[in-house]
């Protein structure tokens, strides 16, 4: 059985003393997974910016530290601080060396990474003067420079023009080919080219406020997704929701367990005008005497 791409068990981590994940339990399903909701803590944990204080964090069945040491995953995340004179080639070479490659091998790894995403001309560009599309592409090259079996990608949603979105999408497809994929969805993709970046995903895992997490299949066309919190038994609530909702998934919400509450991801159909039909959902909760605490779009 293939281990989950990412598995957290009561994980608590911080950045510069500030807690970014607070006892979060999360287990992804599938080989091409989107991460959505409060993703800052997950990104910081994977990139090494955050320190794991307690709990467990596993990547492909190994502890996060071992997975990083063994180059089981690469992080395609844009860098914020790079010396002005450094070329993208120099950044990639240094990343390869940090990943355990020799100086000689690092040079060939940099060339491999740029070629892997179909952007060999990137190598001569300086990071400090590179355009947004070039930095986004360089981040992809960073993710594959050690040729890992899994890639974590934080795409530049809402940053690139349509033409540049298509260029980035082509590079992303190449980078993720034959690799397992964790893709951060920090905001809803609006451009059609941005939407193509998430088409290959088989599931999406969410981190909500507090310690609540949930996973479900990608949203289908013509539907809208909500988080629903109600007072009641999870099994009974789930059975009631299935009568009217297109699809439902329970949310791991430990903060609710001691208070007789539960939470679900709920997909509902949109009408001919594109408006989500939540009426039947509300009606079944009322008829089943399930007090609604919260109904919010995801």
* 2 Cβ neighbours under 8 A, 6+ residues apart: 31
15-49 confidence digits (pLDDT tens): 998 999 999 999 999 999 999 998 999 999 999 99
User: By the 8 A CB rule, do 122 and 88 touch?
Assistant: yes
CA distance 20 to 134: 29
In percent, how much of the chain has pLDDT > 70? 98
Along the 298 residues of the chain, how does pLDDT read in single tens digits? 789 999 999 999 999 989 999 999 999 999 999 999 989 999 999 999 999 999 999 999 999 999 999 999 999 998 888 998 999 999 999 999 988 889 989 999 999 999 999 999 999 999 989 999 999 999 999 999 999 999 999 999 999 999 999 999 999 999 999 999 999 998 888 888 899 999 999 999 999 876 889 999 999 989 999 999 999 888 888 999 988 888 999 998 876 655 788 899 999 999 989 999 899 889 999 998 989 988 999 8
Length of the chain: 298
In the chain, where are the structural domains located? 6-207, 220-297
- Residue 217 gets which letter from DSSP? P
User: By the 8 A CB rule, do 34 and 204 touch?
Assistant: yes
Architecture of domain 220-297: 2-Layer Sandwich (3.30)
168-207 confidence digits (pLDDT tens): 999 999 999 999 999 999 888 888 889 999 999 999 999 9
The phi, psi pair for 142, rounded to 5°, reads: -60, -40
CATH number of 6-207: 3.40.50.300
81-93 confidence digits (pLDDT tens): 899 899 999 999 9
Nearest to 132 by CA among 163, 164, 110, 154: 164
Q: Supply 56's token pair.
A: 């467990």
The shares of helix, strand and coil residues in the chain, as percent rounded to the nearest 5, are 35, 30, 35
């Amino acid at each position: 059985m293939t281990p989950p791409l990412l598995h957290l068990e009561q994980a608590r981590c911080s950045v510069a003393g500030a807690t970014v994940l607070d006892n979060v339990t999360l287990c992804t399903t599938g080989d091409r997974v989107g991460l959505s909701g409060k993703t800052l803590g997950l990104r910081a944990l994977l990139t090494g910016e955050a320190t794991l204080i307690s709990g467990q964090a596993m990547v492909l069945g190994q502890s996060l530290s071992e997975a990083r040491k063994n180059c089981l995953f690469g992080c395609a995340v844009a860098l914020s601080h790079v010396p002005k004179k450094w070329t993208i080639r120099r950044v990639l070479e240094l990343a390869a060396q940090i990943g355990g490659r020799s100086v000689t091998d690092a040079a060939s790894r940099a060339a491999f990474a740029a070629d892997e995403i179909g952007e060999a001309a990137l190598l001569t560009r300086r990071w400090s003067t590179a355009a947004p599309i070039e930095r986004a592409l360089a981040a992809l090259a960073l993710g594959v420079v050690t040729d890992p079996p899994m890639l974590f990608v934080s795409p530049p949603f809402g940053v690139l023009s349509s033409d540049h979105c298509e260029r980035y999408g082509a590079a992303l497809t190449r980078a993720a080919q034959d690799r397992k994929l964790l893709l951060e969805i920090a905001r809803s993709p609006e451009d059609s080219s941005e939407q193509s970046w998430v088409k290959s995903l088989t599931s999406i895992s969410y981190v909500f406020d507090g310690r609540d997490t949930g996973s479900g299949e990608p949203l289908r066309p013509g539907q809208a997704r909500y988080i629903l919190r109600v007072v009641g038994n999870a099994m009974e609530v789930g059975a009631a929701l299935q009568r009217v909702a297109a699809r439902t998934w329970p949310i791991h919400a430990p903060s609710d367990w001691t208070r007789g509450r539960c939470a679900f991801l709920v997909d509902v159909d949109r009408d001919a005008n594109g408006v989500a039909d939540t009426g039947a959902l509300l009606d079944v909760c009322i008829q089943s005497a399930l007090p609604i605490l919260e109904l919010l779009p995801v």
